[in-house]
Amino acid sequence: MKENDLKFFASDTMKLPLIAIAQQKKYIILSPPEIIYCGAEGSYTHVYMSSGEVYLVSLKLKTMSELLQMWPEFVRIHHSYLINVNMLKHIETGDGWQACMVNSQLLPVSSSRRPLLMSVFHTERDQREGK
């Protein structure tokens, strides 16, 4: 095999649908569809997995959001939260909206991000308007 062939196999086109995040002296490998949500804590992000594991990674939530941008199921619902809408049970729409995740965690949805969240779903309004 030639050196140019090796470069091809190591190119960006060969990346798997997984993310690798540095954590202390190792990389944790995550499958984005298994992420329930990410929560900001200063310059760190807690990553909550469907397995029940929680990882604290030294990435800002904005960076985590950029890392997950190729997965359209991830939506920023609040300054402090990024969710996987496939892991959303329901949305409470009382005084302040809250996203209820599959792990029963209630997360605030900021009023400015409500339209973005709702834009990913088909609703009865879409049916009435013929969308």
Q: List, for residues 12-28, the tens digit of each pLDDT value.
A: 555 678 898 888 888 99
35 confidence band (pLDDT: 50, 70, 90)? very high
Report, as an integer, the average pLDDT of 74-86.
97
The whole-number pLDDT of residue 67 equals 93
Per the model's pLDDT, the better-predicted residue between 9 and 117 turns out to be 117
> For the chain, what percent of residues have pLDDT higher than 90?
68
pTM for this predicted structure: 0.82
SS3 readout for the chain:
CCHHHHHHHCCHHHCCCCEEEEECCEEEEECHHHEEEEEEECCEEEEEECCCCEEEECCCHHHHHHHCCCCCCEEEEECCEEEEHHHEEEEECCCCCEEEECCCCEEECCHHHHHHHHHCCCCHHHHHHCC
- Provide the residue type at 45 as one letter: T
Domains of the chain: residue spans and CATH = 33-129 (2.40.50.1020)
